[in-house]
């Protein structure tokens, strides 16, 4: 329940911050529309999370391991995902959006999903297709400048 309340408070602060986004003359919607949409979606799901936590009568299960060991066992995948995202952000200026995106998506799918040869091939196809498709959409369709690296 505490997490849902913190998320809702953060969403309120973030929504209030969108009023400080400057107005521009060259856009049709305004720069504040997309952040407000995302904040509204996060607020909606946080509210559902809060309601579910209020009506949940079962107490959380306590594991045999506590402290740092229990935390690491419970959140290993989440920690690996954050490390991979950090690596993606660090590598962006050096190898660019395409290569770092392919690497990030492939490694993320491999960390979260199955680790077999067949799955690795599927992960490779998904990562190349998804990142190349998004890169094409943003570069040519939306005319957005994506990070280019020193290598590519």
User: Could you report the per-residue pLDDT of 1-42, keeping only the tens digit for each?
Assistant: 788 899 999 999 999 999 998 887 776 777 788 899 999 999
Same domain, 121 and 147: yes
- For 13, the domain range is 1-60
Same domain, 101 and 126: yes
Question: Residue 80: CB partners within 8 Å, gap ≥ 6?
Answer: 111
Gap between the Cα atoms of 122 and 80, Å rounded:
20
How many folded domains does the chain comprise? 2
Degrees (nearest 5) of the Cα angle 20, 24, 28? 110
Same domain, 92 and 116: yes
Same domain, 38 and 83: no
Q: What is the pLDDT of residues 101-127, one digit of tens each?
A: 999 999 999 999 888 899 999 999 999
- Cβ(105)–Cβ(116) below 8 Å: no
pTM of the full structure: 0.60
Q: How many CB atoms lie within 10 A of CB 86?
A: 10
């Amino acid at each position: 329940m505490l997490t849902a309340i913190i998320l809702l408070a953060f969403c309120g602060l973030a929504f209030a911050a969108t009023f400080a986004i400057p107005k521009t003359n060259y856009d049709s919607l305004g720069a504040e529309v997309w952040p407000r949409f995302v904040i509204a979606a996060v607020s909606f799901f946080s509210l559902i999370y809060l309601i579910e936590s209020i009506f949940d009568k079962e107490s959380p299960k306590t594991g045999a391991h506590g402290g740092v060991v229990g935390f690491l066992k419970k959140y290993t995948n989440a920690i690996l995902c954050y490390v991979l995202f950090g690596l993606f952000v660090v590598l962006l200026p050096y190898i660019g959006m395409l290569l770092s995106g392919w690497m990030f998506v492939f490694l993320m799918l491999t960390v979260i999903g199955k680790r077999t040869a067949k799955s690795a091939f599927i992960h490779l196809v998904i990562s190349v297709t998804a990142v190349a498709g998004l890169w094409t959409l943003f570069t040519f369709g939306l005319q957005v400048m994506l990070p280019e690296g020193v290598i590519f």
